[in-house]
Amino acid sequence: MRKTLLTAIFSAVLALYGCALSTTTMNVLQDPTKFDAVNVESIAPFITSGAYVQRANNLFVLFDASASATEDYSGVGYKANNAPTKLEAQREILHRMNATIANSASALKLADFKTSIRSFGYGDCKGYGDRYTDLHQAPALYAKAAFDSATDTIACSHGRSHIGRVLIKNDDNVNPVSNLLASDHDQSVDGDLKDVQGNISLVIISDLSKNNTARFAAAILPEYLNPDLGKDDENAIKALRQKYGDRLCVYNIWMDSSNKSQVEGGGNESETFSNQEMMYSADNPANCGGASAFTAERVAETAGMQDFMRAALLSPVPPKPPVDCSQLDSDHDGVNDCNDKCPNTLPGTQVNRLGCWIVDIKFDNDRSEIKPQYFAHLNKLAVDISTHFPNLTLEIQGHTSSTASAAYNMKLSVRRADAVAKYLNKRIISPHKLVPHGYGLTRPIDTNETAAGRANNRRVQIEVLQ
């Protein structure tokens, strides 16, 4: 524990009166915290792979600078020269988020990407006062140095966690919220968001859990949304969701420790992390990225921070709808992909109704000799292959009708394929490979019940193998 006994007692006494000790006071009693250097991973590969696109045009952070942030951080993952407070761990998280954005600049659209940082607690640590929030960075175009500098201005923490009053206030004339939500001179996240364009990712970094927020539930007029919401802990977020619609995605980083850390001696058993307690990000629109609730321990890991920033800034590319194959002709042979049995036919070649390359050579029944009338056609085919289709492996397929036995026809089909392959091999001058293959009577393209059909089946056909 970093706090001296005097500091701990003083903090406890002030907490009884609804205020808290600032880290300004604490820094008199302790050494400044310096975190060990860590590596962060870019999220650019998710975009360049085509699997994700940038969704967020704005990244707004709401930071917990209330009294509980003066407590030592009880989780793991933030190595430093001493045990950090929650406030210091939160600042370190923001620095790592910033480093991730900067490392991903090659793929992110940052020309119109805005960031903003706001804290909640009791003002600027100059006194108890009546303020609930401070704006550390107004919405502005992203700049790494500016974001880091704004993060470092969150120097102290005290006061209660009136997060509902900071999320939205009574300045909406269309849907008024109770004056109890915030006084008129207070600012709010709603005020920060109202003039920005595009999609918004709101990141809430806090140790608040569901039960802690019940205090402000009744502060919003039930009629703002519907009569039942007066019972709901999420009224302020729900009001923002109604106002900004699918443009708004909310993400949480929970600053208390996980179950594992608590078992090992840290944390508060009453504030055990669970997705059910991280209610701010519940009901995100479908277009929001990935998981919406992370522990501080999870984002302390290199992969965890990468996953969080991917979720906060990117959305997965939806799968393409299935295409009707009857509307496609991938090899441009005039036969649609549904009916094309030879889908890689070369452009410009003659095909049959099944989309297969046909050498228009017919054979007499029970014969494999090439008739002289087909020599000119085969000569042109050899020139076409030499000129336009070099380095191909082609299967020369021999076929027969159903006359005679299957075994006999298989041998006959091989002789027909060999005859055409030998003829072409003598005339093709480019690198190529012809593979003769007999299919016998197994692949008819016409009926074997008529003489004309059987004549069509006695053929040679070519298919590209590679």
DSSP 74-96: -SSS--BSSPPBHHHHHHHHHHH
What superfamily in CATH does domain 5-316 come from?
Answer: von Willebrand factor, type A domain (3.40.50.410)
Torsion of CA 100, 106, 111, 114, to 10 degrees: -10
What superfamily in CATH does domain 325-464 come from?
Answer: OmpA-like domain (3.30.1330.60)
What per-residue confidence (pLDDT) applies to 213?
43
Residue 55, both tokens: 């969704």
The whole-angstrom separation of Cα 270 and Cα 301 is 25
DSSP assignment letter at 195:
T
Three-class SS string for the chain? CCCCHHHHHHHHHHHHCCCCCCHHHHCCCCCCCCECCCCCCCCHHHHHCCCEEECCCEEEEEEECCHHHHCECCCCCCCECCCCEHHHHHHHHHHHHHHHHHHCCCCCCCCCCEEEEEEECCCCCCCCCCCCEEEEEEEEECCHHHHHHHHHCCCCCCCCCCHHHHHCCCCCCCCCCCHHHCCCCCCCHHHHHCCCCCCEEEEEEECCCHHHHHHHHHHCCHHHCCHHHHHCCCHHHHHHHHHHHHHEEEEEEECCCCHHHHHCCCCCHHHCCCCCCCHHHCCCCCCCCCCCEEEHHHHHCHHHHHHHHHHHHEEECCCCCCCCHHHCCCCCCCCCCCCCCCCCCCCCCCECCCCCEEEEEECCCCCCCCCHHHHHHHHHHHHHHHHHCCCEEEEEEECCCCCCCHHHHHHHHHHHHHHHHHHHHCCCCCCEEEEEEECCCCCCCCCCCCHHHHHHHCEEEEEECC
What per-residue confidence (pLDDT) applies to 40?
94
Length of the chain measured in residues? 466
Q: What SS3 class is residue 359?
A: strand
- Single pTM value for the model: 0.61
List the chain domain ranges: 5-316, 325-464
Per-residue pLDDT of the chain (466 residues; tens, 9 = 90+): 444 333 444 444 444 333 333 333 344 445 789 999 999 999 999 999 999 999 999 999 998 888 888 888 888 889 999 989 999 999 999 999 999 999 999 999 999 999 999 988 865 565 545 567 888 999 999 999 999 999 998 888 877 777 777 887 654 444 444 333 444 345 788 889 988 999 999 999 988 654 444 333 334 333 333 333 333 346 778 888 888 999 999 998 888 755 444 444 444 433 444 544 445 666 788 888 777 888 899 999 999 999 999 999 999 998 888 888 888 988 888 889 888 877 777 777 778 777 877 777 888 999 999 999 999 989 988 888 888 778 888 889 999 999 999 999 999 999 999 999 999 999 999 888 899 999 999 999 899 999 999 998 998 888 777 6
Q: Which distant-in-sequence residues (6+ apart) come within 8 Å of 195 by Cβ?
A: 139
What per-residue confidence (pLDDT) applies to 198?
95
35 has which bridge partners? Answer: 80
CB atoms within 10 A of CB 198: 12
Give, in order, the Cα–Cα distances in Å from 279 to each of 56, 247, 288, 313.
21, 18, 16, 20
Residue 158, both tokens: 């005290």
